[in-house]
Structure 1
Amino acid sequence: MAAIELDVEAAVDDLARMIKVDTSFPPGLGYNAFADLMAELLAPLGFEFERVVVPRDLWYVAGGLASGERTNLVATRETGKPVCGLYYHVDTVPVAPGWTRDPLRLTVEGDDLFGLGAADMKGTIAATLLALRAAKVCGVPLAYDPMLLLCTDEEGGLYPGIRYLAEQGMLKDHIINFNGSAAPRVWAGCFGIFNLQVTITGHAVHAGEGNRTGAGINAIEGALPVLHALVKLKPEVASRTSRLTPPPHASGPLRPQLTISAINGGTAGGQVPAEIKILVSRRYAPEENYDEARAEIETLVRGCITDTGLGLSVDLVGHLVPTDDPDGPHWPRWQKALSLGFGYKPEDFQKWGAASCSDFGYVQRAGFGPEVLLGGLGRPESCIHSPEEHTTRQDIIALAKSILAYLAADFAADCIPENSN
């Protein structure tokens, strides 16, 4: 544990290098470069690597959001012990307006570490490297062989990398998912999300001809009834509730959400716009039916452009299914490890779900039976998915200590399920 604190600046340097690699999704063009960096950082720790590329026909949508090779890196160091998978999504959201610091350069201000992906979730990779180096330097025997799963397209992709790994039967034993918060939480599952790209097409002409009968059809103006209808649907969707236990800081039950997430259209002031693309994001509760939720939106949109002369296509460009309660026998020891790292007490832990989403619903659907543990660096003040995203040295140290404790053979050995077998 002392070695972790002494070596924290190495973790800060690692995080700086990771943030420099732009892995924002969409479009997801930086995955190969990030895999190169991770192989460089992990090789001195004795890992072997396999690059697993998700086939293009599984994720590609013509005119969609994603482009580039979807390269996942699986790092293994097998010695015959039980395997503990350590999961990270390497993609970030795109840079949002409002950053006052360079989002692709780590900015260190005291103990605060600012940068895109600092908390979600490149900082968790830095914490893992810090833990594994301490184990090597101090000769700590491990109870588990770590298997690092550095995966693509969690941030709204159509075919996340962990889904493909699960469907190929590449996952083993149990997994710690680091896409969570720095909180004493027992994961109860989460919502699903799907993203529909609504493309409305008109006819482009010279803008000066726009008042002539039979001239162009303005796609942007024609989309206004669609936008109004979606905004009207939004509170209706939010009036529904889920039985999933909400976080302790929530003001009420978890609710589905509908969001108009992006709009792109038009070319120049001198041309009647011929196309507009509207990205509609729908978070849906485990109790909801995906097909019905999608049909509700599509039926609404199609009804708005009937007999208008406008063209329409609706494409699914992203989908994460809900995740069920992933409970299992490893949770008690993981709680002990988190308590050691972060200073939690047993009575601090509560079991709750979230309207945020995970790609582990696909892992469950693929038949991966053992449980999935949850940890991470997210805090309400971390500005995840927002300008000025950050984590702290203290939280990286705390998570690294939790990881080292959990992997170590001499920590709470009586709570290791494999020992009782």
Structure 2
Amino acid sequence: MVAVDTAAPPGQGYGEFATLLQDMFAPLGFGLRSLTVPEDAFPGTPAGGPRINLIASRRSGRPICTLHFQMDTPPAGPGWTRPPLTLTRQGHLLYGLGTRRMKGAIAAVWAALRAADAVGLGLRFDPVLAFTTDGGQGANAHAGLRYLAEQGALEGHLVSLGGLAAPRLWTGSPASLDLEIRIPAAAGAAEAALPVLSRLTALQGRLGQGVDGPRLSITAVSAEQSGEASSPFCSLALHRRLGAGETAASIRAELDAVLQEALPPGHAATLREMAAIPAVADPHRGPNAGRWQQALRWGFGFGPEDFREYAGAEPSALGFVQQAGVSEILQAGLQRPGQPAQGPDECTSIDDVEALARSLLAYLADVPELPAF
């Protein structure tokens, strides 16, 4: 899996990776179908190749558990001391692009399902595997998962395997908006933007820049011209994390007030929403959360007193999943606390891959109680 380059951008390796997944999971009795995101489905920067998402299912009439994996990685970038597209073992560590974020988790699920089949272990859930293409920019950054959610392709409850290898219970994430302000700049881009930037900076100060709660970021400032016959304009790109009780309408009103204060009456500045990610609320409060916690204890050796709740500080594309009606979303993965999700010399450990496989096997197994490990 590591040898298949699924970096996005450019996003050109999805077809080859889909073929590899077919070869891995079809022998386990899974039927695979592809759902390609239409090029015009969402605004933003398109991928370099078709966004091929896969759904693998093996149905027997039991309740559905959807296991989710993001197929993309970022480009390797500088700083690697090992070949990023070669799986390299050093002691108990496995190095390679995607090992920690998702390719290691795919290997853990494959191992768990293969072990269950080998010993004839029945499953309490019918597993559905959702492999999505979510790399990119703007709304396209979450195109695969959002498209599957909107198409109703995600069923039952969902286990997201891009999370932590730690005794943590994810309690949700905030909503966010990406917006663009366009200001006519006939007298010069800097002169046009300066009063608006001044008031946006003041708004940033009032909101604060805390780990959680509302936050405003100015992500780009540029001077542009929309056409040969059009006047130049200044473009301000904004990212707004929503706090408790805030809505898209209240954020637009807040920014409209900024423009009214900064610009003369009758100004022609415009405010446009570019992308929005819904909040995730209480994903851990569902009928399967207790068993999931028990399975993680069995797989990783965590104690019952070790578990802590935590809320994500940044928006999550899983908001689209909950918005589509899948309310219970559980998380685990191979990222240890304090580790970056990805980066130079990305690695995971054999111990953690095995522990995640044990956890998944315990969770899916049709047994009334989990034995002591």
Match of 1:237 in 2: 207
In structure 2, the CA distance between the partners of 1:367 and 1:122, relative to structure 1 (3 Å rule), is: same
Q: Say which of 16, 27, 45 aligns to 1:44.
A: 27
How far off is 1:162 after superposition? Answer: 3.2
Whether the aligned pair in 2 keeps the contact of 1:186 and 1:349 (CA below 8 Å) is yes
| 1:145 aligned residue | 126
Q: CA deviation at 1:55?
A: 3.7
Q: How does 1:182-331 map to 2 (within 5 A)?
A: 182-197=165-180, 219=189, 223=193, 227=197, 229-238=199-208, 254-262=212-220, 278-297=236-255, 300=258, 315-326=272-283, 327-331=285-289
TM-score for the superposition, normalised by structure 1: 0.71
Q: Does 1:384 align with 2:360?
A: no
**CA pair 224-163 structure 1, distance change in 2 beyond 3 A:** same
Structure 1 407/315 Cα, relative in aligned 2: closer, same or farther at 3 Å? same
Q: Are the structure 2 counterparts of residues 286 and 52 from structure 1 closer, same or farther at C-alpha, using a change threshold of 3 Å?
A: farther
- For the 8 Å contact 2:213–2:244, the answer to whether it is kept is no
For 1:21, the equivalent position in structure 2 comes to 6
Q: Give secondary structure in 2 for the equivalent of 1:34.
A: helix
- Find the counterpart in structure 1 of residue 116 from structure 2: 135
Contact 2:295 2:370 in 1 (8 A): no
Q: Which residue does the alignment assign to 1:249?
A: none
Preserved contact between residue 23 and residue 31 of structure 1 (Cα < 8 Å): no
Consecutive unaligned residues of structure 2, counting only runs of 5 or more, are 225-231
Where does the alignment leave 5 or more consecutive residues of structure 1 unmatched? 1-13, 204-216, 241-252, 267-273, 415-421
Residue in 2 aligned with 1:402? Answer: 359
Distance 1:109 1:264, change over 3 A: farther
Find the aligned partners of 1:93 and 1:262 in 2 and give their Cα distance.
21
TM-score, normalised via structure 2 length: 0.79
Checking the alignment, whether the CA contact within 8 Å between 2:158 and 2:326 is kept in structure 1 is no
CA contact (8 A) 1:112 1:392 kept: yes
State the superposition RMSD in angstroms.
3.7
How many aligned residue pairs are there? 361
Matched, 1:54 2:12: no
Note if contact 1:21-1:104 (Cα within 8 Å) is conserved in structure 2: no
Q: Which residue of 2 aligns with 1:412?
A: 369
Write the distance in 1 (CA, Å) between the matches of 2:333 and 2:74: 17
Q: Report if the CA contact (8 A) 1:192-1:286 is conserved.
A: no
Give, in angstroms, the shift of residue 330 of structure 1: 0.9
Quick one: distance in 2 between partners of 1:94 and 1:277? 28
Quote the Cα distance in structure 2 between the aligned partners of 1:145 and 1:182. 24
Whole-Å separation in 1 of the counterparts to 2:75 and 2:195? 28
Relative to structure 1, the CA distance from residue 397 to residue 100 in structure 2 (aligned partners, 3 Å threshold; closer, same or farther) is same
TM-superposed deviation, 1:341: 1.5
Return the alpha-carbon distance in structure 2 between the equivalents of residues 33 and 72 of structure 1.
Answer: 12
Percent identity reads 37
Shift in Å, 1:395: 1.9
